[in-house]
Amino acid sequence: MKLGIVFGGTSEEHLVSVKSAREVAKNLDPDRYEPYWIGITKNGEWKLCDSPDEDWETRDCRPAVLSPDRGVRGLLVLEEGRYRAIGLDVVLPVLHGTLGEDGALQGLLELSGIPYVGCGIPGSALCMDKSLAYVVAGSAGIATPDFRVVPAHENPDPDELTYPVFVKPARSGSSFGVSKVAGKEDLRGAVEAARQYDSKVLIEGAVAGREVGCAILGDDLELTAGEVDLISLSHGFFRIHQESAPESGSENSTITVPAPISAAARSLVQETAKAIYRTLGCRGLSRVDMFLTEAGTVVLNEVNTLPGLTSYSRYPRMMAAAGLPLAEVIDRVVSLALTGKDR
């Protein structure tokens, strides 16, 4: 099976994407897949490489692009001044953040006619914009944080807020540009920090509860939930992928999977994650992040439609704890893409 793996990208999560691709490489069945490693540099250049190793950008890669022409259904690779077509059976996007999980790449893949793993255009775009995700989830009866949107070129009135609040880019990955604001004197700086990643800024009221997550795999009717995980903080707030050495752990957080919560709470978190997944139109795979309050309610935090697949990422750890190693996860999401059950 000719499997195209797209990784890298121009977003702030470029390095995380490369690490995810390396972990995928370790878990691909060579008897089942013929991988085509399609790396996108930070400058947006597309290259067909032998592997996603550390020096992939400087090795003997060839310029290559996904063709939007359904007559090609694959790659156009530049060799000796001419483009050669290479057909692909399916594409596994391993791009995180902007232009990776916001519907942009998914649109190109829809034009190309190549089956691909993961959410389609509407679900990807909806989950990427946290404010829109809250509106849709809230209309379905799912609890969300109190929030307000700050459009570009507007500044919120600090006296209108109840602190603490979280200020974040509305459409960005991980915790880049996110600030916890304890008082009104820090609000403007937090908004400016968020605008480095998105012109649309979100201000959320703090939710009193424990941070939990749940990995989901499958289509609308048949969903598999991974084990629930729990994030414990020593100080500050959870800042995924911004540690100096994330493979060695975080300086202020510990992630426990399975989460040390009651069976009833575990079931509630998993069922709520499935409801959020369906409501927001997710397909293939996603990680649903939530808060579990002392009152026993579950509040949506955010949904990652192309979650990290690194050695330390939450999604593969939750699935492994449920008895699904990454190699099997890859097989299942590729199978869903090929059979059209996640479309």
- From first CA to last CA, the distance across the chain in angstroms is 20
Q: Is 19 a catalytic residue?
A: yes
Helices (H), 200-262: none
Q: Active site residue: 22, 96, 266, 274, which one?
A: 96
Q: Is 308 marked active-site? A: yes
User: Do residues 117 and 342 touch, judged by C-beta distance below 8 A?
Assistant: yes
Q: Cβ-count burial of 94 within 10 angstroms (0-12 exposed, 13-18 middle, 19+ buried)?
A: buried
**Please, what is the angle between helix 130-139 and helix 263-279, to 10°?**
110
Q: Is 180 a catalytic residue?
A: no
Q: What is the token pair recorded at 283?
A: 């397909």
Q: Which of 19, 47, 210, 314 is catalytic?
A: 19
- Catalytic residue from among 22, 47, 241, 317: 241
How far is residue 42's CA from residue 11's CA, in Å, rounded to a whole number? 7
Spell out the alpha helix ranges (H) of the chain.
Answer: 14-27, 104-112, 121-128, 130-139, 187-194, 263-279, 314-321, 326-339
User: Is 96 among the catalytic positions?
Assistant: yes
**65 Cβ contact partners less than 8 Å away, ≥ 6 residues apart:** 46, 75, 76
* Catalytic residue, candidates 218, 283, 308, 334: 308
Establish whether 154 is a catalytic residue: no
Residue 239 near residue 203, CB atoms below 8 Å: no
Active-site choice (16, 91, 178, 212): 16
| 16 in catalytic set | yes
- Catalytically annotated residue among 116, 134, 312, 315: 312
Q: How far apart are CA 99 and CA 7, in angstroms?
A: 11
What residues are labeled active site? 16, 19, 96, 241, 247, 287, 308, 312
